[in-house]
Amino acid sequence: MVKQTTAGVYTRTLGAMIATAVMLPGLTHAQGHCSGGVRSINPGAPASITFAYPNANASEEDSFKVYYADANGGLVEMFTLFPGQRQTVTNSVFVNTAWVMTSPIPGGGESCVGSYITQRGPNLVNLGD
């Protein structure tokens, strides 16, 4: 669920792991957060987005990959977040920009954690517990 704080920042907190294991591309998720249909549509006003993994006590193996979903649903890997890191994206980010986050599966592949559509104003996505 996306929430707007009193400071006008849109936030979404995603759990550390989701049980559904998937391989990229063709993300699927039982709750619909990472279906293959995630894509950026009708770019709006310029925006910014910050991804944060605040759990500095997590294992170094715990990480999240952040992908930009283009207008055709193609995923472009942007960066990997490790425990205690934050990454802000401001270039080429607009309202309605779609993002997909995954976590690694031991032995290979990635598990879909969730997706986010950039809102008007500052955006913050907290990954992990």
Please enumerate in sequence order all residues whose Cβ is within 8 A of that of 17, keeping only pairs 6 or more positions apart, or say none: 103, 111, 113
Residue 59 has pLDDT above 70, yes or no: yes
Interval 19-43 mean pLDDT = 51
Which of the four pLDDT bands, split at 50, 70 and 90, describes residue 121?
confident
pTM assigned to the model = 0.73
Rounded distance between C-alpha atoms, residue 84 and residue 76, angstroms: 23
What does the domain layout of the chain look like in residue ranges?
3-127
Region 87-111: what's the mean pLDDT? Answer: 86
Q: Binning pLDDT at 50, 70 and 90, where does residue 36 land?
A: low
CA distance 122 to 9: 5
3-127: CATH architecture: Sandwich (2.60)
